[in-house]
Amino acid sequence: IRLAILLGAAEMIRSGVTAYIDHFPHLRQAEAAYAAHREAGLRVGFAPFLHDIHDHDFFGIDLPQDLRRRLDGAGFAPADRLATMFRGLAAQARADGGRVAILLGPNAPQRCSPALLDLWRSLRDELDLSVHTHLLETRAQAERCRALWPGGLVAEMARRGLLDRRLAAAHGIWLLPEERALLARHGVTIVHNPASNLMLGSGLMPYADYAARGVAMALGSDSANTGGPADLFELMRLAMMLPRLGGQHWRTWPSARDVLRMATEGGAAALGLAGRAGRIAEGAAADLVLFDPGIAATIAGTASVDQIVQHGGPDAVRAVMAGGAWVYRNGRILAFDEEAVRRDAQHSAAEIVHTAADGVTLANEARPFIEKFLARPSNVS
């Protein structure tokens, strides 16, 4: 876990990222992950998972009992243990100064039982935590949620008091207009994941409608398994171009300045830092990126937001500061020993692949049953 986090941090630092959210599933390694984020030197919203419903149960996928038992594995952490973990992590993060902040990380609302949704709200209010979750990434999720809850999932979240400015929701693709209106009314931030949405074929986030409603939007990669490298320049370009596929009028397309705002002020909002980070202003956090306009891709133009978004890349990043401390300068990461991390990761790679083999086998066994479910005309994701 430590090596994975530091390798990811190195990639992000070189791409000019100063802050990010880690939506973290491996609860048994939460303390090790927190320590690694502290070591990485960046500003982090560390959001360990909350969930207690498997997708195969939520969708009612017909599985053989032995396969179901193996997929369910060791089960989920009980609510009281989750509450203890979050209280401990939140206290530790505040004692450490808050550069690594604790967020609640419900995997997705439909993957949480009513009891866990109540825990989400009570811990959020008790500990004053921001929240990060996934929201209606696929059509299959949206259809199932509309069958289960009057008005759909977002309406159920509103009824349970889960919508407010402390919530950031990734994806937000398959929402009805009235659901997007609810998010706007409650000040929820949407985290756009353009590379992941393309890789998985999840659909197009309705940028123009969110923008027209004044919804704050941020950018994410959705991690390396679906989004590729944590290259914020690539994500900005994709976010700028993708709305052009939807047949919308060109006046509704995001500009370079719009997507730069998503990558900066929008990201700060997703981290619960609206107005305190993501901009260069007196009193704002000293999270800064020095960009060299003299790289080959931009040398012929005038340094501008258009140039940065349309033609910039990690090769133009000369220095990165997080919280007033340099973490990258002169081609070298200063926060930790990047070369040692790479060496250790190379030595561990074979063991990691070997350890994952049983999980890959299990996934392949489950695949025909999932494909059968997805083959139903009303459940195409």
User: 3-state class of 381 per DSSP?
Assistant: coil
Q: What is the pLDDT of residues 108-131, one digit of tens each?
A: 999 999 999 999 999 999 999 999
Place of tokens 């969110």: 210
Residues 6+ apart with CB under 8 A from 148: 110
Q: What is the pLDDT of residue 73?
A: 82
CB 138 within 8 A of CB 174: yes
Label residue 353 by pLDDT band (50, 70, 90).
very high
Label residue 85 by pLDDT band (50, 70, 90).
very high
Q: What is the pLDDT of residue 223?
A: 87
DSSP state of 9: H
Beta-sheet pairing, 131-135 with 100-102: unpaired
Mean pLDDT in the chain?
94
Q: What CA–CA distance (Å, rounded) separates 147 from 72?
A: 24
Label residue 237 by pLDDT band (50, 70, 90).
very high
- Report the percent of the chain where pLDDT is more than 70: 98
Q: What CA–CA distance (Å, rounded) separates 31 from 95?
A: 15
Rounded average pLDDT over 35-52 = 97
Rg for the chain (alpha carbons), in Å? 21
Place of tokens 């990669």: 221
Rounded average pLDDT over 140-156 = 95
Q: Which residues make beta-bridge pairs with 328?
A: 320, 333
CB 225 within 8 A of CB 196: no
Lowest model confidence (mean pLDDT) among 33-37, 72-76, 220-224, 289-293: 72-76
Q: What is the pLDDT of residue 374?
A: 85
Q: Kindly tell me if the per-residue pLDDT of 311 is higher than 50.
A: yes
Label residue 378 by pLDDT band (50, 70, 90).
low
Q: Kindly tell me if the per-residue pLDDT of 380 is higher than 50.
A: no
Q: What is the pLDDT of residue 381?
A: 43
- Report the percent of the chain where pLDDT is more than 90: 88
Residues in the chain: 381
Q: What is the pLDDT of residue 89?
A: 97
Q: What is the pLDDT of residue 173?
A: 97
Q: What is the pLDDT of residues 325-345, one digit of tens each?
A: 999 999 999 999 999 999 999
Q: What is the pLDDT of residue 294?
A: 87
Q: What is the pLDDT of residue 375?
A: 86
Label residue 249 by pLDDT band (50, 70, 90).
confident
Q: Kindly tell me if the per-residue pLDDT of 189 is higher than 70.
A: yes
Strand residues in the chain grouped as ranges (E): 19-24, 43-50, 100-102, 105-106, 131-135, 167-171, 189-192, 217-219, 288-291, 317-322, 325-329, 332-333
CB 268 within 8 A of CB 217: no
| Phi/psi of residue 355, nearest 5 degrees | -65, -35
Q: What CA–CA distance (Å, rounded) separates 218 from 169?
A: 10
Question: How far from the centroid of its chain's Cα atoms is residue 262's Cα?
Answer: 13
Beta-sheet pairing, 19-24 with 167-171: unpaired
Rounded average pLDDT over 188-194 = 97
